[in-house]
Structure 1
């Protein structure tokens, strides 16, 4: 009888020990899983922060070499830069994108009649007109000089393209120089081409293009 009781006690003790061991192992496993999840979460957060930092650095570098930035570094385009800022187009020309800008030089703006002078266009009440004038000098997509010359030659000497404002410009060649004609029939020449930027290319012209 005593032997049986002892055996029973031993069995109970073993069961309790086994149950306790199972609980301990379960706790160990749970703690391990929690730690692994925490580490994975921290790693994911770190990678996300690194990716964000890289994207911000890339964005900063892109803006530093954007069309707006490149134009700002050219003293001959200071009037254009001021006009772009007055029309709130500097953001568009600073952000990622693909544009071709035919940039009038300072001298080009000085040729404008008084009613179209930058002093007049820069007034708040003329902001819409200023925006339209500037948009007439911007084309979606990158058109290098080589591409433009090829397009002209492939279109029997005259190539028409549309600006972001929905108006047309006609390009042709004059003694191997790219010549642009606006909707008013006025002509200008590209005096400096293929100024590269992170979001497009700039061609400096010596007159302001005027749409109808």
Structure 2
């Protein structure tokens, strides 16, 4: 026990350095990781096997959404990468991982999911019909607005938080995954 506390402190001191080193992964590597997803497998199966979505996989399990994302669908998942979760505040993460806050965790995850399969070309068509803007209702019940910033497709929530799609159109047997660079939240945390 005497050495446990210093070990934990050392981990938290070195974690940002390790994260920075991992942050050098390029979009090409993310695209390669998403392209390795098997379109014959489900969203949950592919995220479990993804080297870039381990945190998302753990969050899906903690929120008890394995069965839903394993069989039901189709769904469009705006999947924060592990790097996006690393940049998510530690205070917010600890709050969500507390067993008393399981509903908040589920709300966070379902805020990244839309019922139906929407490829980027379908999202872009919806934006064209909406004069450069499209609104989608998440499974959680809130809306996200999708717009363009230069060549990037950007999701924005009610609080002005935004996330860019960094890698798109990883087809799954029960939907599609678009990797995003940030975690968006359904309420002010």
Report the TM-score range of the alignment, normalised by the length of the smaller protein: 0.7 to 0.9
Corresponding pairs, count: 150
CA RMSD, Structure 1 to Structure 2 (Å): 1.7
1:127 aligns to 2:113 (yes or no): no
1:73 aligns to 2:49 (yes or no): yes
What residue number does 1:100 align with? 76
Alpha-carbon distance in 2 for matches of 1:136, 1:64: 25
What residue number does 1:152 align with? 127
* Residue ranges of structure 2 left out of the alignment (5+ in a row): 1-37
* Residue ranges of structure 1 left out of the alignment (5+ in a row): 1-61
Say which one has the larger Rg.
1
1:147, distance to aligned residue in structure 2 (A)? 0.3
Alpha-carbon distance in 1 for matches of 2:78, 2:185: 12
Q: Which has the higher helix share?
A: 1
Q: TM-score, normalised by structure 1?
A: 0.67
Alpha-carbon distance in 1 for matches of 2:123, 2:164: 13
What residue number does 2:14 align with? none
CA contact (8 A) 1:63 1:95 kept: no
Alpha-carbon distance in 1 for matches of 2:124, 2:39: 29
Q: TM-score, normalised by structure 2?
A: 0.75
